[in-house]
Structure 1
Amino acid sequence: MTLVIHNLSKRYGDTPVFSQVNLRVEPGEFIAIVGESGVGKSSLLNCMAALDDWSEGTITHDGVDLGTLGEVQRAHWRREKLGFVFQAFHVLPHLDVAQNVGLPLLLLKRPDPARVAQMLAAVGLDGLGERLPAQLSGGQLQRVAIARALVHRPSLLLADEPTGNLDPSTAAQVMGVLQQQAADSGAALVLVTHSEAAAARAQRVLQLTATGCH
């Protein structure tokens, strides 16, 4: 399930966010995107997730041109094909850990407690399924986010500064879990990061600048 980005540009009015980005991500590949603050890394990732629109170019995943999809079709594509790990975790505080992780399966009408338990064990949270997010550390919350992003076996995993709120030791542990679980599931992983240590784990590191991705 290859992701192909061709001549992608995004503008707000006359102000460019990024320009002429070309990128090909093969199944199972791990790519890190780095760059100065303000060059549009998170905006690019949001376009890859079909959460934001773009001004020019195309994004194609498994032969599907995401730009031709309506909002409902994009939402269905994200549910089926995409996992997203956010810097701010975005767990739901009123749901326990197992419910948070199982949410993508519930949205797909495929509830699977055994799969949820498997993912919790895989990210080192075995036995914590009944805890509320407020009872967890930052590193544990990010592990919940990773498990939730991968529980439905997506083919594409996007991660936006997943270690940005963590101390270096916890960040290294979380990156290890993220990389291992993506590899185990066969998902392509695109990571946006300021962390040199996180980027160094990738198979390819691309620099996003005002003139594109190199």
Structure 2
Amino acid sequence: MSLVLAGVAKRYGEVPVFEHVTLQVARGEFVAIVGESGVGKSTLLNCMAGLDDWDGGSIHLDGEDLGAMTADERALLRRRRIGFVFQAFHVLPHLDVAQNVALPLMLLGVDAGERNERVAAMLDAVGLQELGARLPQQLSGGQLQRVAIARALVHRPSLLLADEPTGNLDPGTAAKVMELMVTQTRRQGASLVLVTHSEGAAARADRVLVLTSEGIRPHP
């Protein structure tokens, strides 16, 4: 997997959010992006996933130009190759843990037998093997984030995008969640791009980049 951004710019009307964002993420690399609040870190992550449009430059995933794709083509690419972990978990409250984790496999049409095996293995990997039948409201914040990580990785994406995944967690739980996310992405050979305000989380990365309105640069 390779993710390549070249001169990416984003504006809201006439107001620039960021410009001249150029970076490359190699297969299996863990890159953390930090920066001041409001500089557009989450927006940049959404552009990498093809969830948001951008106003200049290009984004390529494995040589494919996201900017040249239709909305449906981007959705299919995300479904197959990208996992996303959000700060607010975004688990579905009416589905139990196992059903939430199984969603990406259902969308890909994986048959029930293989789907159940992969969900069970993923729940075991994140330490939730006994909680598959529980509803989200019965879980702690740390457990909910582990559900979100399991769901993001169960279809074995080549790229995991994580937007402040420890922002709603206490420091001890946050450290455990980061350890889990890094361990599982390394095990799968996936690349990880993390947006964070946490110095501890960023310190785990192979590379830390600072996003500003004028571009992106290595952390000093």
Structure 2 length as normaliser, TM-score? 0.97
1:14 aligns with 2:17: no
Alignment correspondent of 2:85: 85
Query: What is the alpha-carbon distance in structure 1 between the residues aligned to residue 213 and residue 78 of structure 2?
Result: 28
Unaligned 5+ runs, structure 1: none
Match of 1:52, SS? coil
Runs (4 or more) in structure 1 with deviation over 2 Å come to none
Q: Which runs of 5+ in 2 are unaligned?
A: none
SS of structure 1 residue aligned to 2:142: helix
The answer to whether residue 72 in structure 2 is matched with residue 69 in structure 1 is: no
- Give me the whole-angstrom Cα distance separating, in 2, the residues matched to 1:20 and 1:124: 41
Q: What is the DSSP-based 3-state SS (H/G/I as helix, E as strand, rest coil) of the residue aligned with 2:128?
A: coil
Aligned-pair CA distance for 1:210 = 1.4
User: Counterpart of 1:4 in 2: which secondary structure?
Assistant: strand
Q: Residue 96 of structure 1 corresponds to which residue in structure 2?
A: 96
Instruction: State how 1:202-213 maps to structure 2 within 5 Å.
Output: 202-213=205-216
- Shift in Å, 1:36: 0.3
Match of 2:174?
171
Q: 2:194 aligns with which of 188, 191, 194?
A: 191
Counterpart in the other structure of 1:47: 47
What's the secondary structure of 1:77's corresponding residue? helix
Q: What's the CA shift string for 1:165-184, capped at 9, x where partnerless? A: 00000000000000000100
Q: How many residues align?
A: 214
Shift of 1:126: 1.0
- Identity over aligned residues, as a percent? 69
Q: How many Å apart are 1:127 and its aligned residue?
A: 1.1
Residue 160 of structure 1 aligns with which residue? Answer: 163
| Deviation for aligned residue 1:118 | 0.4
Structure-2 separation of matches of 1:140 and 1:43: 26
1:5 aligns with 2:5: yes
| Aligned CA-pair RMSD | 0.5
Residue in structure 2 matching 1:130, options 119, 133, 153: 133
Deviation at 1:65, TM superposition (A): 0.2
